[in-house]
Structure 1
Amino acid sequence: MSVLHQPSMFDEDVTAGPALGDLSTTTRTELSDGAWVDHRPGWLTGSEQVLDTLLRDVPWRAEERQMYDRQVAVPRLLCWYSGAVPFPHPVLDDARTALNAHYRPGPPDRFVTAGLCLYRDGADSVAWHGDRIGRGATQDTMVAILSVGSGRTLALRPRGGGAGPRFHLGHGDLVVMGGSCQRTWEHAVPKTAKPVGPRISIQFRPIGVA
């Protein structure tokens, strides 16, 4: 995987092994219609080592999608892990275990899978959407996003438009979207003209939510 990557000065424990912090300091933002977002900056320390491993070892793939009368490239690289095999770095298994222990979801809502997205630079993005394929279309559920690499904006808005919170995520930051968030709100990672390095988001989801 050839992506220009300069180690960050924001990750204070670059010389130590990756480690997860305490989730009790997570801050919750209550949204409308029973939706909420939890935010824990710097949950994963030593995240530069994780970024290096994921850039090198994940079998990244490019995808295309139909837009009107032509196929266009999806502006990011992707990989999906079903949970049946270990994740590409052991700290991701630890993160999934810690999230399930903290949020104590019932069996249908336990975090199992992980979708990885690589934003190579500021031109890579994801448009406004909700994770509404499967149970997320009709039921409350949770999606947890752990970010490593350069900071990028995760923006939220009510479904259909309006104002909402924005989070600058990278360097081991965590957000968890819960309640009705996937049904009643949308989220996006907009493009940026600023010079930024690669960012990888690891999205932990229950089975049947995409």
Structure 2
Amino acid sequence: MVDFQGSLLDLASDGRDEIGPGGLDPRREDLSAGAWVDLRPAWVHGADRLFETLIDVVPWRAERRQMYDREVAVPRLLCFYGEADPLPHPSLELMRERLSAHYADELGEPFVTAGLCLYRDGRDSVAWHGDRIGRGSTHDTMVAIVSVGSPRALLLRPATGGASIRHNLGHGDLIVMGGSCQRTWEHAVPKSARPTGPRISIQFRPRGVR
């Protein structure tokens, strides 16, 4: 399905055989209007092996959406796991538990869902948006994203306009968007004209946020 080049750092890490999250000690970047992002590079040990497993076991599906007067293909593959759905790998359960524990005081509730997106190459993308379906449109919340596979650019910009901020995420990197970020900022994964390997984005959200 995809042509993936693993990271030598991931393969040679520290001799660990397990796949899963490491210590959660993120660095926070304050944005504006009460928005912030937390960053933890290489949070997931064995991220490349996890990528290869998820490619095979997740029931990826293509979607089509109405765009003005025509229906178009969504430029990525998707899979969503609701609150009652078992996740496709035990390491995802552990990530969700660690994130819920770490952000319990700020968030006040656990992360309960997981949405997965597969960006097969540089032609796959997601346009500028905020996760504003549900409570994200009116309340501060958090969305935690773990990236496995080849790095891709995640851009953030104020919803009212302005310069964008770029983070290249892959090989187990974690970014958490919090505070007012979903209401006052937008994010996107742009198309790339350069040769680009595949990436899986794993998005953990609390109840009622999409």
**TM-score if structure 2 supplies the norm length?**
0.94
Question: Which residue pairs with 1:102 in the alignment?
Answer: 102
Deviations 1:8-54 (A, max 9, x none): 32424387221321112x11000111000000000001111110111
Does the Cα contact within 8 Å between 2:118 and 2:201 map onto a contact in 1? Answer: yes
Q: Deviations over 1:111-145 (max 9, x none)?
A: 00000000000110000000000000000000000
CA distance in 2, matches of 1:178, 1:74: 26
Separation of aligned partners in 2, 1:105 and 1:71: 43
CA distance in 2, matches of 1:135, 1:108: 14
Superposed CA offset, 1:72-128 (max 9, x none): 100000000013132101100000000011111578642000000000001100000
Q: Would the aligned equivalents of 1:38 and 1:177 in 2 still touch at CA under 8 Å?
A: yes
Per the alignment, residue 7 of structure 1 pairs with 6
Please list, as runs of the form range in 1=range in 2, the aligned pairs for 1:163-182 lying within 5 A after superposition: 163-182=163-182
State the identity %. 64
The one-letter code of the counterpart of 1:16 is D
* Structure 1 stretch displaced more, 114-123 or 83-92: 83-92
- SS of aligned partner of 1:48: helix
How is 1:109-124 mapped onto 2 (pairs within 5 angstroms)?
A: 109-124=109-124
Give secondary structure in 1 for the equivalent of 2:8.
Answer: coil
Distance 1:125 1:63, change over 3 A: same
Q: 2:5 is aligned with what amino acid?
A: Q
- Report the Cα distance in structure 1 between the residues aligned to 2:28 and 2:200, rounded to whole angstroms: 23
Consecutive unaligned residues in structure 1, runs of 5 or more: none
- Which stretches in structure 2 are left out of the alignment for 5+ residues? none
Q: Which moved more, 1:184-193 or 1:98-107?
A: 98-107
Q: 1:196 to 1:10 in 2, by over 3 A?
A: farther
Show CA shifts across 1:142-174 (max 9, x none).
000000000001100000321132111000000
1:203 counterpart residue number? 203
Q: What TM-score do you get using the length of structure 1 for normalisation?
A: 0.94
CA distance, structure 2, for counterparts of residue 137 and residue 40 of structure 1: 26
Deviation, 1:67, is 1.2
**Contact residue 47 and residue 148 of structure 1 kept, 8 A:** yes
The answer to whether the 8 Å contact 2:31/2:37 transfers is yes
Question: 2-side partners of 1:9 and 1:35: how far apart?
Answer: 34
- Runs of 4+, deviation exceeding 3 Å: 12-15, 105-109
2-side partners of 1:111 and 1:91: how far apart?
15
* 1:186 aligned partner, one-letter code: E
2:55 matched residue in structure 1: 55
